[in-house]
Amino acid sequence: MSALYPFLAPDGDAATDLVRSTEAKAAESLELRLRVLAGLGPALVSCAAAMAAAFRAGGTLFAFGNGGSSTDAQAVAQVFRTPYGSSPGVPAICLTGDAALLTALANDVAFEVVFARQLAALGRPGDVAMALSTSGGSVNVLRGLEQARRTGMVTVGLAGAGGGRMAEEGLADHLFVVPSSSVHRVQEAQTTLCHVLRELAGRARAEA
């Protein structure tokens, strides 16, 4: 566990160490969140403006990802369709909520197409595709972004570490890379980025 908890002293009191390392992790989580907000600020503002324009024109948000990022995508869709302050909800749906569709596509075709196929069927020019990944390398997520771009959607990508293929291949119009090698810290900062996008997009839409 030393890789996860480098703060644990080898011979220290286990209970005290556990609390101290928890404090350190929580502080690290906050520090990363504030750092990405500061560093990615202009990109967030520009992305929120593009999303707000899409919603004003009747666009829908499609969110997707794998594993923990699939549930994070569900939360993103829920957060966008729920009113926040004076900002009304917008049409938003997650592509990982329908087990019948996911299992049918994965079983009959391939797991790589589970998002691309849905976007080909449901997406329209002017919609927004938001892809959540910690590696930036999940093939089904990348193919989803490719399909979204072919359809003429606004593409938003979230990744961690170096951004992976999502960054290398420039698959997202608006790319947010969280500079951490910890999957957990990346997801935590991504949650903040998505929430702030929702706050900013709601504001931009109200003011337009």
Chain residues that interact with another protein, rule: CB under 8 A = 1, 3-5, 8, 14-15, 18-23, 25-27, 29-30, 33-34, 37-38, 41, 44-45, 48-49, 67-68, 70-72, 74-75, 78-79, 82, 84-87, 134, 183-184, 187-188, 191-192, 195-196, 198-200, 202-204
Beta bridge partners of 138: none
Residue 163 CB, nearest approach to another protein (Å): 18
Q: How far is CA 189 from the centre of its chain?
A: 10
Bridge partners (DSSP) of residue 178 are 160
Cα dist from 21 to 34, 50, 187, whole Å = 20, 40, 19
Measured from the CB atom, the residue of 32 and 142 that comes closer to another protein is: 32
> What minimum distance in Å lies between the beta carbon of 72 and another protein?
7
CB 200 within 8 A of CB 80: no
Q: C-beta of 147: minimal distance to another protein in Å?
A: 23
Q: Rank residues 21 and 149 by Cβ distance to another protein and give the closer one.
A: 21
- Distance (Å, whole) CA 131 – CA 128: 10
